[in-house]
Chain A
Amino acid sequence: MKIKKASLVFVMIISLIIPSSLLATSAMAATTLTIESWRADDSVFWKETLIPMYEKANPGVKIVWAPTPSNEYDSALSLRIKGKTAGDVIMCRPYGLTKTLIKNKNLIPLTGLPGLSNFTTQSMQSWANASSVPYCVPSASVGAGFYYNKDIFKELKLTAPKTQAEFIAVLEAIKKNGKYTPLAAAGASADSWALDQMGLELVGPYYWKGDAGGKALDDGMRKATDSEYVAAFSALASWKPYLPKAFSTINYTDAEQLFILGRAAILVEGSWSVKEIAPPGKNVGVFGAPVAKAGDKPYVQVLADHGFGVNASSPNQAAAKKLLTWFTTKEFAQAYANGLPGFFPLSKDKISIDNKMAQAWLNLRDGAVVTAPIGMDKMNTGTPNFFSVINNILNVMMTTKMTPQQAAADLQKSLETWYPPQKKK
């Protein structure tokens, strides 16, 4: 009898839920624009600041922020585009998937979009086709570097290092003191991207001379085993004695926590985490990649992080283009820079940055050679690709006894099997 009652309740619940869920999806505002994104972390800012701003000025338009986690974004988005269920506005990766979408005509060309003159051709490069037709409005760039705990530095009488020798001396001093982990970083294989983006790509450009070194590798003019790349691998490997214990299990969040809790003196990170790592009141500073010789010009990696394009099969293209036009304005750039400190607008407008820590990140670019990461453009399509190969090699190098020379040799060996310009002649 009891069970009978239970099953009755069960049926009732179902009959209540199913129709209500069907109704919920069909009742929508006049024009709804859905934005596809991998930035789940920014949801609150979009929902509470940007979207209300736009919706207030444009009655009748409703904007839905629809994030997918970064690692699944490319696959899930390609699928939704194929299934014609993707959103109207698409957050674009630099190169990679965006180039594929452009090739397959899944994005519409933005030629003539008012406001695009606000951007340099160079800043639109990562989202344009071969003849420089833009497909996305550039929105933000990020960079990588080191946060340091000023209190610990003061306690140990240290200053932010500029050269590699100073850097090692600082790390050595913290290690000798024994109270703190000198350098927090992520070594768990699940987060191996971190050792590339905030490791090799951070310290390497100085050695391979920035974009020139990237192009030489792309074109097959130089090999990964050549001295400039091996030097870059060595610079990264020089961190090994100073990393947290059990480094191979340290996740990205573990590394952050070590620094936030004051157990690590230095954290290698990206500008995008200003809010979490250096909230107001925390005594934290930043410094960039060290150079080998005092007086050398430093290199700073500027990663074009994301832009926005319009889905070619969207029924609301006009409304989507209007939204994109707003993305080109100073009003948007200013709101973005302050709401997401550490993401730097790419437009020509003069933007003031309230957040002091974000400004400190931006200051790293002063007097430095600005460069893009290597391997992103030509080597990152297909399987395997530069990203998956380098992530794994760096993870192995940093968590085992593998030498920088072996790591460079492994990379070269792999490139020769799948990247035509590097194939053995």
Chain B
Amino acid sequence: MTRKRHRQLVLFTFPALAFFLIFAVFPLIGTIYISFFQENVFVGLKNFNFLFTDENASKRLFFAFLHNCEFFLIAASVQLPLALCMAALLTSGRVRRMTGFYRTLLFIPSTLSVVIVGFIWRLIISPLWGIVEYPLLGEKATALPTITLMSVWQYLGIPLVFLYSALLSIPSNIIEAARVDGASDFRIFFGIKIPLIAPQIGIITILTFIWTFNGFDIIYALNGGMPGPDYSTDVLGTLFYRTFFGWGADQGNQNLGAATATVIFFIILLGTAAYFATVQRRLKVSQL
């Protein structure tokens, strides 16, 4: 019986597993492997040594990492509270038939491509054509936060929809019971709902972390492969792209690119592991 069950299980899961292992897992492992080579010759840690000690390369890597941290911190601290607030309003039971209308419209920015998002916002905040006098994208201090906020604007719909679904699935009898006990809306939200959807909030935070640390789209769409001014919007994703694929007269180097990817991978791995080790010990399928 078990054998038959196993056979059935393998049959059903085989296509998904095959795609996943061949086109997601294998490339990642392969990347780590080829990061020890240069032009098909084994060179040990030489690529990593270059990335961390070469005067020009190490500077770029360090700043890209720093910019990524900034991007993540701004994105997480703006996006999550806003999404929670909207989800709370939508599920407050005070908008009734309009819920779908609001929810659909709020999600629309998330269906756009970064190309149009970058274009729209660049036009709106352009000192030349738009409504902002200050050169937000041209100053080193403001360029990265500005782009981050564009990204937040675009992707807000995703955590919103997930948190909204999570809030919807809270059994109504719990809420009713609290209401009978005389709890206010605020009490119910912070005292009952938030703790119940805490795991989802955690997952969204960690996914935001992962996405921002290997993301590159909006920055590339706005500023190209050497994102300025003076590399101030260069993140790990653009650095990786430039290192392995090249940009302008830079022709790129696949092995060095693989080494860069490996470094980024371990940064993400460490961050994720640290999170699961300290905050969220167990991850259940149903929480996703």
Contact = CB atoms under 8 A, between A and B. Distances in A.
Contacts of B56: 384, 414, 417-418
Contact of A189 (B129, B134, B229): B229
B100 interface: no
A380 B249 contact: yes
Contacts of A395: 228-230
Contacts of A247: 135, 138
Interface in A372-405: 380-388, 391-392, 395-396, 399
B252 interface: yes
Contacts of B176: none
Interface residues of B, number: 33
B126 A254 contact: yes
A256 B127 CA distance: 16
Interface string B224-236: 1111111100000
A246 B139 CA distance: 9
Contacts of A189: 138, 223, 226-230
A408 B243 CA distance: 26
Contact of B251 (A71, A100, A244): A100
A78 B129 CA distance: 38
Contacts of A414: 56
The binding surface of chain B is classed by DSSP as loop
Given A245-B127, A246-B128, A396-B229, A75 B138 contact: no
A144 to B, nearest CB: 18
A190 interface: yes
B6 to A, nearest CB: 31
Contacts of A100: 251
B250 interface: yes
Nearest to B246: A75
Contacts, number: 107
B137 interface: yes
B26 to A, nearest CB: 19
Interface string A41-84: 00000000000000000000000000000011011001100000
Interface string A215-254: 0000000000000000000000000000011111110001
A111 to B, nearest CB: 27
A192 interface: yes
B222 interface: yes
A313 B282 CA distance: 55
Given A189-B227, A249-B137, A399-B138, A244 B128 contact: yes
A127 interface: no
Interface string A163-185: 00000000000000000000000
B53 interface: no
A75 B247 contact: yes
Contact of A383 (B228, B230, B253): B253
A190 B248 contact: no
A267 interface: no
A50 B288 CA distance: 57
A399 B229 contact: yes
B245 interface: yes
B55 interface: yes
Nearest to B55: A417
A208 to B, nearest CB: 21
The winner among A193, A249, A250, A391 for most chain B CB atoms within 10 A is: A249
A383 B253 CA distance: 9
Contacts of A268: none
A143 interface: no
Interface in B242-274: 243, 245-253
A258 interface: yes
A247 B135 CA distance: 8
A91 B227 CA distance: 27
A258 B128 contact: yes
Interface string B170-202: 000000000000000000000000000000000
Given A189-B227, A189-B230, A246-B135, A75 B252 contact: yes
B136 to A, nearest CB: 8
A245 B226 CA distance: 24
A309 interface: no
Nearest to A181: B128
Given A254-B126, A258-B128, A417-B55, A190 B139 contact: no
A187 interface: yes
Given A246-B128, A248-B139, A249-B138, A75 B251 contact: yes
Closest 8 CB pairs of A and B: A248-B138, A189-B228, A246-B127, A75-B246, A246-B135, A249-B138, A387-B249, A189-B229
23 contacts: A71-B224, A71-B225, A75-B251, A78-B246, A100-B251, A188-B138, A189-B227, A189-B228, A245-B128, A249-B127, A249-B128, A249-B135, A249-B137, A250-B128, A254-B129, A380-B249, A383-B250, A388-B249, A391-B248, A392-B230, A392-B231, A395-B230, A399-B138
Given A97-B251, A246-B127, A399-B138, 19 more contacts: A74-B249, A74-B250, A78-B252, A97-B249, A190-B222, A190-B227, A246-B135, A248-B139, A248-B229, A249-B136, A250-B128, A254-B126, A381-B251, A383-B250, A383-B253, A385-B249, A385-B250, A399-B229, A417-B56
Interface of B: 55-56, 126-129, 133-139, 222-231, 243, 245-253
